Chains A and B, each alone.
Chain A
């Protein structure tokens, strides 16, 4: 009998420690898997198959509420439509270096490659000049054919040339902007380019360069006041 009891004790001792350890493991696993349980994601469609209404809503006279809701929807939709451009507009994608010309209804009439800002910082002594295309909504302020480019200081700094006086003839360049230029403010323009092979690449100092044929269509589609969206 005594021998049997002695044999049972180590077994009991092991059990005594196994149970708390097991409980501890369960506890730890629960902590680890709770976020996974609550925030794990499943297919969207399986979730939103049916809608329920609360008792309060059910008592409110749903038909009339629905009519009112529909009326509000119409009001908001008309307000949203009023915000949209009334003239043809252009949308420029600076990440892909592509443009899309749209008519007043928002339908795309032409797409193609373009060149936008090269996202470069030119460091000249204490000066830091940033070449990037601004993002947002702009307006065509004016349109010009064969517009000469008045070179700013950075054009000379970038070429390692001395900066001439403000009225120097060396600042005027007749070829760079191509056949047409559409100004969108702050010196930024949509214009042509001598470097057609770079279309689709970010190479400009902030302006949007377009191919000759695209520029011709854009120039004749957009008018003063047309919107330019750059993203």
Chain B
């Protein structure tokens, strides 16, 4: 009798926990289209205020927007493509007005650019790119809001140093100086694996297309494991707090080792990025 009671108590408690976990972590995000943290999307009217060009004409157009017309699916798609292009160009312009280098990730053409003042400094082909399954759930307008403003890095971690300095003690005399001077050699490049956490919960993972050496494999796997642990902890915390966090979409790109190194070393400490997808 006692055993039976214990059985039912334990089974019921665990069943409730399992149902809760299932609902909060799997069903709810799917049913409610787990929201992406929104950027403040500037309306065209806001831009009109900041832009002196064509101000009058645009305002006139805006006044007539309330007119309802029948719209085909193709028109809607065309408009969304235009709107997307507009917000992305606006982001690029915003970053081009700053004095820093920034990253432009174009997933539609599988290319990544390093830009400054609107000038493309370095272009690289993305060998392979994947985006989170969770993005699938978002309505187009939510996605548009999400990519509307430039993403700013909150935290970066990489297997290579950003700046590598060699320290040299000044020689006491010319004899010592002659002994020190040696033929320079190109520095050995370590294997690259970069994780960039941006605002609005975006995570960008940059891997190299070349196979890493044994040492590189170890370092990369340690870093990957660390991030997996963080994800599990995040999941556990959201379960305990009974608070579903916004999704954390991840973009994985594979580029050549040299390109990955160039991007990481050239970008400022807190780089910004425009995402085109």
Contacts and interface: CB of A to CB of B under 8 A. Distances in A.
B14 A20 contact: yes
B82 A66 contact: yes
B247 interface: yes
Given A61-B66, A68-B62, A120 B176 contact: no
Contact of B232 (A31, A38, A51, A94): A31
B54 A120 contact: no
B119 A106 contact: yes
A16 B34 contact: no
Contacts of A121: 165-168
Given A75-B51, A231-B266, A157 B132 contact: no
B58 A31 contact: no
A7 interface: no
Contacts, number: 283
A51 B140 contact: yes
Contact of A79 (B93, B172, B228): B93
Contacts of B136: 47
B38 interface: no
A201 B184 contact: yes
B47 interface: yes
Contacts of A79: 93
B58 A71 contact: yes
Contact of B89 (A23, A77, A137, A161): A77
Nearest to A129: B170
B141 interface: yes
Contacts of B61: 64, 67-68, 71
A104 B135 CA distance: 40
A36 B44 CA distance: 38
B85 interface: yes
B29 interface: yes
Contacts of B117: 83-84, 137
Interface in B69-84: 69, 71, 75-83
Interface in B221-277: 228, 231-232, 234-236, 239, 247-252, 258, 261-262, 265-266, 277
Contacts of B172: 160
Interface of B: 3-4, 6-7, 10-11, 14-15, 17-18, 21-22, 25-26, 29, 34, 44, 47, 51, 53-54, 57-58, 61-62, 64-69, 71, 75-83, 85-86, 89-90, 92-93, 96-97, 99, 101, 107-108, 110, 114, 116-122, 129-136, 139-141, 163-177, 184-187, 203, 228, 231-232, 234-236, 239, 247-252, 258, 261-262, 265-266, 277
15 contacts: A19-B7, A31-B232, A36-B231, A40-B132, A42-B130, A44-B131, A47-B135, A57-B141, A80-B96, A118-B184, A119-B163, A121-B167, A122-B168, A201-B184, A202-B186
